[in-house]
């Protein structure tokens, strides 16, 4: 019951696979709010607390990197995980802007759950910082190298 009591914001086009991802996360006891674009995501983030954000890189109105930048201004500690079918040229800019991880699509649910558990553990421990957590996450580093 890793996700019990944890709220996730999932941002992506539901027609291209958002619904199955939401279902898989709910099976792991996460409370999931799904939205289709970056502007809806910002509205939801202003309305309520989330423990992490999972966003597709290519979303309408505000792409995943722009959403990441906006979130860093208001919620600097919020873990944000980017998903993309093509990670080439995206990983290092995303990590430099504060992404917790970048994962390839189609998403390996078990890998995503592992990264989420590390992200949430990281934010639950006020003594930790993102650089230290990433250096202790060989699984996530392998994901980032894809």
The mean pLDDT of 106-112, rounded to a whole number, is 93
pLDDT at 25: 93
- Whether the pLDDT of residue 100 is over 70: the answer is yes
pLDDT at 133: 40
For position 41, which CATH number holds? 3.40.50.2300
pLDDT at 3: 64
Residue 1 lies in a domain: no
Both tokens of residue 106?
């189609």
Segment among 26-35, 57-66, 79-88, 126-135 with least mean pLDDT: 126-135
Question: 50 lies in which domain range?
Answer: 7-145
Instruction: State the CB neighbour count (10 A cutoff) for residue 7.
Output: 14
Residue 92 lies in a domain: yes
Residue 2 lies in a domain: no
pLDDT at 129: 44
Q: What is the pLDDT of residues 6-51, one digit of tens each?
A: 999 999 865 444 568 899 999 999 999 999 999 999 999 999 999 9
Residue 117 lies in a domain: yes
- Whether the pLDDT of residue 120 is over 80: the answer is yes
**For residues 42 and 9, is the Cβ–Cβ distance under 8 A?**
no
Q: How many domains does the chain have?
A: 1
Distance CA 67, CA 125 (A): 24
Residue 126 lies in a domain: yes
Both tokens of residue 72?
């860093």
Residue 109 lies in a domain: yes
Write the CB contacts of 62 (distance below 8 Å, at least 6 apart in sequence). Answer: 37, 38, 39, 41, 42, 70
106 CA to centre of own chain: 14
**Element of type H or E holding 25:** helix 18-27
Q: What is the pLDDT of residues 55-65, one digit of tens each?
A: 999 999 999 99
Identify the residue whose tokens are 């998903």.
83
Distance (Å) of CA 97 to CA 34, 67, 137: 23, 11, 19
Would you place residue 2 in the very low, low, confident or very high pLDDT band (cuts 50, 70, 90)?
A: low
User: Helical H runs in 28-90?
Assistant: 38-47, 64-74
Burial annotation 115-132 (CB, 10 A radius, 16+ → b, else e): bbebbbebbeeeeeebee
Would you place residue 122 in the very low, low, confident or very high pLDDT band (cuts 50, 70, 90)?
A: confident
């Amino acid at each position: 019951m890793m996700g019990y009591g944890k709220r996730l914001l999932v941002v992506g086009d539901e027609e291209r696979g958002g619904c199955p991802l939401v279902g898989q996360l709910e099976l792991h006891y996460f409370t999931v709010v799904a939205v289709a674009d970056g502007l809806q995501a910002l509205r939801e983030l202003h309305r309520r607390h989330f423990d992490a954000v999972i966003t597709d890189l290519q979303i309408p109105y505000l792409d995943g990197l722009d959403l990441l930048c906006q979130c860093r201004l208001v919620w600097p500690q919020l873990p944000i995980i980017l998903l993309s079918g093509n990670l080439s040229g995206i990983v290092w800019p995303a990590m430099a802007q504060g992404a917790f991880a970048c994962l390839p699509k189609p998403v390996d649910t078990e890998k995503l759950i592992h990264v989420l558990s590390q992200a949430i553990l990281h934010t639950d421990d006020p003594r930790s910082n993102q650089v230290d957590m990433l250096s202790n996450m060989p699984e996530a580093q392998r994901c980032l190298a894809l």
